Amino acid sequence: MTRDGGQQHKTPRRSSEAEQDTEVEPTEDVTQRKEQLDDDVDSILDEIDDVLEENAEEFVRSFVQKGGQ
């Protein structure tokens, strides 16, 4: 006796219209937001670089696992 739980899986079919890629140009708001996020990421990476330049050994030690962690 085979049990399938009454579930059937069907793969939805896509029409040829749905498969066409449409190009969307970013709005000015999206472009500004991306630039701000890029600046924020660059700032964070600069801070990490500064910390590593000052005391890389201590920074690495803080990530070493100690007994069962």
Asked if the model's pLDDT at residue 17 lies above 60, the reply is no
Would you call 29 helix, strand, or coil by DSSP? helix
Tell me the average pLDDT across 22-45.
Answer: 91
Query: pLDDT confidence of 51, banded at 50, 70, 90?
Result: confident
DSSP code at position 25: P
Tell me what pLDDT residue 32 has.
Answer: 94
What is the span of the domain harbouring residue 60?
27-68
Q: Which two tokens stand for residue 8?
A: 């059937």
Q: What is the pTM of this model?
A: 0.47
Asked if the model's pLDDT at residue 37 lies above 90, the reply is yes
Q: Per the domain annotation, does 8 fall within a domain?
A: no
Query: pLDDT confidence of 13, banded at 50, 70, 90?
Result: low
For the chain, what is the domain count?
1
Q: Is there a contact between 53 and 46 (Cβ–Cβ < 8 Å)?
A: no
Q: Per the domain annotation, does 46 fall within a domain?
A: yes
Q: How far is CA 32 from CA 27, 29, 39, 41, 45, in A?
A: 9, 5, 11, 14, 20
Distance (Å, whole) CA 58 – CA 35: 33
Asked if the model's pLDDT at residue 65 lies above 70, the reply is no
